Amino acid sequence: MSMGLIYHDAYLRHEHTPTHPERRERLQYTMDQLREEGVLDDPAVNRLDPSEVTDEQIGRVHTDEYVDRLRSMSATGSGRLSADTHVSEHTWATAKLAAGGVLRGLEAVKSGEVESAFVMSRPGGHHAFADDGHGFCYLNNSAVAIRHLQATTDVDRVLIWDWDAHHGDGTQSIFFDDPSVLVMSTHQDGRTLFPGTGRVDEVGSGAGEGYNVNVPLPPKTTDEAYMEVVSEVFEPVAEQFDPDMVFVEAGQDNHFTDPITDLGVTAQGYVELMASAVDVADRLAGGDIVASLAGGYGIEGGLPYTNLAVIATLLDYETAYIREPAIYEPPVENPDVSDVIERVVDTHSDYWEFP
């Protein structure tokens, strides 16, 4: 199994404030963990360099007005898109390199250079809209990359599974009326977490109606409940959609140690989630799959372990050894998600068949 690993030290340049949850140590600690585990020495791991996305590539998704605003804010060296989303002198270039990382991953998998790819970039992208950003996001990395792939290759249908704990409001909005990109989101219920959107009845509009599937989960939701969502919603819908490419917006903030969310997934749970995404890609998309780091703020908690879980699964390693960070007790509560699943199935039975 060959996997592309897209990473660049320049991803460390962008910074909000030194104590902001989305800080450079997120990537540094994970790279240390991968080095310690010997992953970086594995010949199956191909280090791939990203390039910054171009104005033309950005322009397929974002408005000129927003691009000008972001670029000039970054040029002055300071500014904010929202209370917690800071713009510094390196933000513009780093955001373009992050989107370029996803693009590099998609192209490498599509061309057969590697079988799969993991993009370890920052800043993230799924809270970025066509004309604005917030939630630590500036450019919508996955949308820019997917639009480029659709414009330049024969890839038409892309399945996005956004499993970040926060609903990907920007990604939903960009693809809301587009039936070629199915956005499936599992996230902590918006009544309990930023950004508040991601209700079951947000199903898409126009030609895209039915192609936006939201599964808002209660706080403390565990591995077991996530796997129920996978078998009862994710797998049947993915099968009927029949994607050419599977893209995972890999938010690692569902881990029970995450300091800014309240879910109950373990590192072993991440192995299971990733294995189901890989299985869907193998069965439906010729094995073409790219995962890209989204959130995940347990820098000294679960983040390096969940990233390792995802990467080890892509590489088809033995994963039983992947453990939870020491000193933390895994969750014992197991909230019932059958009513959420029932609402999703009811709402989407106009568009999809369910077992």
Helices (H), 18-90: 25-36, 55-59, 64-76
Contact map string, positions 233 to 252, toward Zn ion, x by CB under 5 A: ------------------x-
Q: How many angstroms separate the CA atoms of 328 and 125, rounded? A: 29
Least separation in angstroms between CB 208 and Zn ion? 23
Q: List Cβ neighbours of 58 (8 Å cut-off, separation of 6 or more).
A: 67, 96, 99, 139, 144
Pairing of strands 181-188, 158-162: parallel
Least separation in angstroms between CB 152 and Zn ion? 29
Q: Does 133 bind Zn ion (CB under 5 A)?
A: no
Identity at 306, one-letter amino acid code:
T
Helices (H), 112-166: 141-152
How many residues lie near Zn ion (CB under 5 A)? 6
Least separation in angstroms between CB 288 and Zn ion? 25
Contact map string, positions 48 to 87, toward Zn ion, x by CB under 5 A: ----------------------------------------
What SS3 state is found at 283? helix
Residue 44, Cβ density class (10 Å: 0-12 exposed, 13-18 middle, ≥19 buried): middle
Helices (H), 112-255: 141-152, 169-175, 223-229, 235-241
Q: Does 295 bind Zn ion (CB under 5 A)?
A: yes
Least separation in angstroms between CB 251 and Zn ion? 4
Q: List Cβ neighbours of 282 (8 Å cut-off, separation of 6 or more).
A: none
In this complex, which beta carbon is closest to Zn ion, that of residue 15 or of residue 164? 164
Contact map string, positions 251 to 290, toward Zn ion, x by CB under 5 A: x-x-------------------------------------
Give yes or no: 127 in active site.
yes
In this complex, which beta carbon is closest to Zn ion, that of residue 241 or of residue 305? 305
Residue 84, Cβ density class (10 Å: 0-12 exposed, 13-18 middle, ≥19 buried): middle
Least separation in angstroms between CB 117 and Zn ion? 21
In this complex, which beta carbon is closest to Zn ion, that of residue 48 or of residue 174? 174
How large is the angle between the packed helices 64-76 and 91-111, nearest 10 degrees? 130
Q: Pick from 250, 107, 246: which is nearest to 182 by CA?
A: 246
**Span from 276-284, 295-303, 330-338, 344-352 in contact with Zn ion (CB under 5 A):** 295-303
**Which member of 8, 127, 148, 348 is catalytic?**
127
Q: Does 302 bind Zn ion (CB under 5 A)?
A: no
Least separation in angstroms between CB 162 and Zn ion? 9
Q: Which residues within the stretch 160-189 sit at the binding site for Zn ion (CB under 5 A)?
A: 164-166
In this complex, which beta carbon is closest to Zn ion, that of residue 193 or of residue 315? 193
Active site residues: 127
* Binding interface with Zn ion (CB under 5 A): 164-166, 251, 253, 295
